[in-house]
Structure 1
């Protein structure tokens, strides 16, 4: 993938992966006309004490969800290549975004446009990430709104200042920079969470509701292994 120019990065615990992840990935792949989109499951999510599934199983679930994502791209005629990167699963110790960003930048080169895709909840939590101020020197951010998170009222001062300095007003503006830009997309409201799905899967009365939000190939693994029950 060394010759690729625009690469989307969607990281997460993926415990489990859900249709919200696929919706966000599909939206930004089409919007930015990404050459590739990498799904990166966290190996050791240091901020998620309630992660109950091993990294190896979450990697399998992410790989399965990627099959559904690739099929969606094919159906929608989105030429973006879908890849699974186990960079964080293979790296010992806590999974820090800054380490992943540095490795990706080294891999793809200074001219590649690396776009970290995230929901508004992850963006508002950014100041708690290790060396978060350095991420924009390596990546761009594309942030999708979420119904329960207001980027206009919930931003801590340091993040509001960052947004004031780096926010771009259009997708095309972000596409012209390899890093350092933040694009807020108010048209996409992703309201599915892995935490809520795990709780629903544990409750027989809401099990079917939860399964409707999980990609089919990932759901098959969840069912076969009896996960989240």
Structure 2
């Protein structure tokens, strides 16, 4: 059974760094990557764009890219959006024996103990950790997190196929240091974001005047 890999995030907006991570995971794990925009992330400030708008940008970014698909599951859920609930829902759909994985950045992994019912995640799915430049994963992890991860690390993608959940794989690849926070700041300041956004997403942001970007003057 093929690995079901979910890449969750606010994607506010989706940028070329996100696409690099998704494509690297697709190629390393030989699977389709389901990009899932978060609905109402309870552990951070509200997104700058609403869910429908962020999903529209994801759809534009991945159009024509093999192996990347949009999953609107969290946007369709009423109320707060917790990863553990999403994975439990997916587990119910896929069945108990299907390999399921959640793709996160290294920063998100370090913050895992702040997530709702975070220890339950390992019974539901594998974690695939995409490292950003300057990742702190090689430094000392917080004690509770280090203990939880101690016997779960693997370097073999095949380990994620051979069991349904519970392993943690580090995804090594060159990543851009670009961030959605920096993009939003540059858009608001009228500065260039050339090379940071998929062209269709950049055009959409300008057309809609998102994140303080100047919308085209009406004809």
TM-score with structure 2 setting the length: 0.90
Cα distance 1:17–1:87, how it changes in 2: closer, same or farther (>3 A)? Answer: same
SS of the aligned residue for 1:28 comes to helix
1:16 aligns with 2:13: yes
Cα distance 1:86–1:154, how it changes in 2: closer, same or farther (>3 A)? Answer: farther
The correspondence for 1:25, drawn from 22, 45, 48, is 22
For 1:113 and 1:191, locate their aligned partners in 2 and report how far apart those are by CA, in whole Å.
30
1:198 aligns with 2:184: yes
Cα distance 1:174–1:188, how it changes in 2: closer, same or farther (>3 A)? Answer: farther
Match in the other structure for 1:6: 3
For 2:111 and 2:130, locate their aligned partners in 1 and report how far apart those are by CA, in whole Å.
14
1:164 aligns with 2:160: no
1:115 aligns with 2:111: no
User: What's the CA shift for 1:190?
Assistant: 4.6
User: What's the CA shift for 1:50?
Assistant: 5.0
TM-score with structure 1 setting the length: 0.87
SS of the aligned residue for 2:150 comes to helix
CA RMSD of aligned residues (A): 1.6
For 2:194 and 2:122, locate their aligned partners in 1 and report how far apart those are by CA, in whole Å.
36
For 1:197 and 1:102, locate their aligned partners in 2 and report how far apart those are by CA, in whole Å.
33
Q: Which runs of 5+ in 1 are unaligned?
A: 74-79
Cα distance 1:221–1:104, how it changes in 2: closer, same or farther (>3 A)? Answer: same
Q: Which runs of 5+ in 2 are unaligned?
A: 213-219
